């Protein structure tokens, strides 16, 4: 039954592999994962040939890191305005898009029009118009777009999909999903460009697109109607004042007020962050360490979403960005039982300047020193529960990052095990999966504005 449902939205993604010349656009934090992978001698089918970014300093830093790792010669760097020229001059076959979310569409469309395959970071984009441009360009060119929903590649998430496809809980009738971002990682979205809804789409787009993609993928279904309630409840100037957390400073660097603020990120404490951001800000004024209790935050930090899927399953989802610890719980209630996944990513969050284990960790990285663990339990009707998984998480989004790279870039021994997936349906997410995940977030954003339930088809079609 579920197996039939899952095949309905099978995604066929052409893997952009086989001795291809790759460029990376957007050389911030996330790009490092791709730069490393594209220069890994264990991946002989791919070659890194160029960088493009609006900030020259950050490209230079990535080139320095590349050389320091013994990853080869520095690659040519191009300013944003010369993206098209770069594709031609460097004979680029495939592009990784790692820029600020609201700019993804520009590079995806230009790359497709130049005949390149595209691997884009999530979210695919931030609004319906931009999404339509991408879908039109893909249709016009027939090109390949892969959205890097790395959470799909986390083995415990793949196990959930496999069990649901095998009918472990019968027909899925409802899903409850709670995701908690802690006051270290969660706060990070409020320090920089993510806090501007125009640039990130808000957390319902920027962050929840991962979670909505997982639900779409797990169920093999699409959302139909969405209702949401939420707001800025913890961060922001008024909340900070109300709860007694606000200190008077604009950004942490150079501020005495920020020195003892547990919510402040001190770029100078980390050689990596200082090189990538502090010493690059003279070019574009990008402050990576803004006060999270500031006036100009336009995104939500606490949202509840209720969605109905086309085959009738109900989703109840809650995202909180100010939790003491990080983790999530998702449960599938079905006609034959319940499948429940609980993931704790840490015991509690430490302030960035605590000298603790999480100092300098990239957002989303797993703190191995803390008590991280995944527990997957299968409850059949009238039977004692069976523990399917009870083990520590892997690094890099539960091990998902490396498996995703193996799938997209090939060349490593583990690639075969992650290839098309145990259920034969594939892990790689295409432009349609990108649109489906975005649609739920956009419909939820619309519902936040109007206070009414929203039909997904009224917001975005694909
Ligand atoms: N899948 C994941 O788990 C995951 C994790 C982190 C980030 N991401 C995604 O990766 C992307 C980058 O995030 P990040 O944390 O590295 O951000 P970042 O701010 O560190 O880097 C963004 C880079 O884009 C550049 N840039 C901004 N506007 C540009 C433009 N118009 N043209 C060219 N370059 C431009 C900036 O100069 C910067 O170097 C985002 O889309 C984010 O959602 C995904």
Residue bearing the bigger pLDDT, 292 or 357 = 292
Q: Looking at ligand 1, which atom is closest to the CA of residue 123?
A: 43
Residue 410's pLDDT band, with cuts at 50, 70 and 90, is confident
How many of the other CB atoms lie within 10 Å of CB of 447? 24
The predicted pLDDT at position 282 comes to 98
Structure tokens at 281: 């800000």
What is the structure's pLDDT at 400? 84
CATH topology agreement for domains 17-143 and 151-234+297-459: no
User: Each residue of 38-59: pLDDT tens digit?
Assistant: 999 999 889 999 999 999 999 9
- Rounded to the nearest angstrom, the distance between the alpha carbon of 31 and the centre of ligand 1 is 7
The top-level CATH class assigned to 151-234+297-459 is: alpha beta
Alpha-carbon distance of 188 to 350, in angstroms, equals: 13
Cβ–ligand 1 distance for 148 under 6 Å, the answer: yes
Whole-number Cα distances in Å, 2 to 141, 168, 169, 270, 362: 34, 9, 9, 48, 37
Residues 148-199 pLDDT 10s? 999 999 999 999 999 999 999 999 999 999 999 999 999 999 999 999 999 9
Kindly give the pairing relationship between strand 327-334 and strand 172-182.
Answer: antiparallel
Residue, of 89 and 349, whose pLDDT is higher: 89
> What's the sign of the alpha-carbon dihedral 67, 72, 73, 77?
negative
CATH of domain 17-143: 3.40.50.720
Q: Per DSSP, what are the bridge partners of residue 21? A: 47
3-class secondary-structure state, position 218: helix
DSSP states of 328-384: EEEEEEETTEEEEEEEE--SSPPPTTSSSTTTTPPTT---TTS--EEEEEEEETTS-
Domain boundaries, the chain: 17-143, 151-234+297-459, 237-284
Residue with tokens 């099978």: 10
Pocket of ligand 1 contains residue 361 by CB under 6 Å: no
Q: Which atom of ligand 1 is nearest to the CA of 29?
A: 16
Q: Is the CB of 53 under 6 A from ligand 1?
A: yes
- Is pLDDT of 331 > 50? yes
pLDDT tens digits, residue range 416-448? 333 334 334 479 999 999 999 999 999 999 999
Q: What is the DSSP letter of 62?
A: H
Strands (E), 116-195: 117-120, 145-147, 172-182
């Amino acid at each position: 039954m579920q197996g039939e449902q899952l095949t309905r939205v099978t995604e066929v993604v052409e893997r952009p592999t086989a001795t291809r010349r790759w460029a990376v656009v957007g050389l911030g934090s996330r790009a490092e994962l791709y730069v490393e992978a594209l220069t890994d001698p264990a991946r002989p089918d791919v070659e890194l040939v160029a960088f493009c970014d609006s900030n020259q300093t950050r490209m230079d830093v990535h080139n320095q890191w590349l050389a320091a790792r013994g990853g080869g010669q520095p690659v040519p760097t191009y300013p944003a305005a010369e993206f098209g020229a770069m594709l031609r001059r460097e004979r680029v076959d495939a592009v990784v898009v790692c820029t600020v979310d609201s700019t993804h569409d520009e590079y995806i469309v230009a790359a497709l029009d130049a005949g390149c395959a595209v691997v884009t970071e999530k979210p695919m984009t931030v609004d319906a118009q931009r999404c339509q441009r991408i879908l039109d360009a893909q249709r016009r060119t027939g090109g390949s777009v892969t959205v890097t929903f790395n959470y799909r590649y986390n083995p415990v998430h793949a196990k959930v999909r496999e069990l649901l496809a095998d009918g472990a809980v019968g027909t899925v009738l409802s899903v409850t999903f709670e995701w908690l971002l802690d006051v270290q990682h969660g706060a990070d979205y409020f320090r920089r460009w993510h806090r501007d809804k125009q640039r990130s789409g808000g957390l319902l787009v920027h962050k929840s697109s991962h979670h909505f993609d997982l639900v779409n993928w797990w169920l093999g279904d699409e959302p139909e109607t969405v209702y949401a309630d939420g707001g800025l409840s913890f961060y922001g100037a008024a909340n900070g004042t109300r709860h007694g957390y606000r200190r008077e400073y604009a950004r942490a660097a150079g501020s005495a007020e920020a020195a003892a603020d547990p919510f402040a990120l001190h770029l100078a404490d980390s050689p990596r962050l200082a090189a990538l951001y502090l010493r690059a800000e003279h070019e574009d004024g990008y402050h990576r360490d803004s006060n999270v209790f500031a006036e100009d935050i336009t995104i939500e930090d606490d949202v509840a979403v209720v969605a109905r899927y086309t085959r009738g399953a109900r989703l109840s989802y809650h995202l909180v960005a100010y939790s003491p610890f990080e983790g999530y719980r998702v449960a599938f209630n079905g006609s034959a039982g319940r499948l429940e996944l609980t993931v704790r990513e840490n015991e509690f969050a430490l302030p960035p300047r605590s000298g603790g284990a999480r100092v300098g960790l990239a957002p989303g990285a797993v703190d191995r020193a803390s008590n991280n663990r995944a527990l997957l339990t299968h409850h059949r009707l009238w039977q004692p529960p069976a523990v399917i998984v009870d083990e520590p998480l892997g690094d890099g989004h539960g091990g998902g990052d490396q498996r995703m790279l193996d799938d997209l870039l090939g060349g490593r021994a583990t690639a075969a095990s992650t290839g098309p997936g145990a259920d034969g349906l594939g892990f790689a997410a295409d432009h349609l999966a990108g649109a489906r995940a975005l649609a739920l977030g956009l419909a939820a954003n619309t519902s936040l504005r109007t206070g009414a339930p929203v039909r997904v088809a009224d917001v975005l079609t694909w």
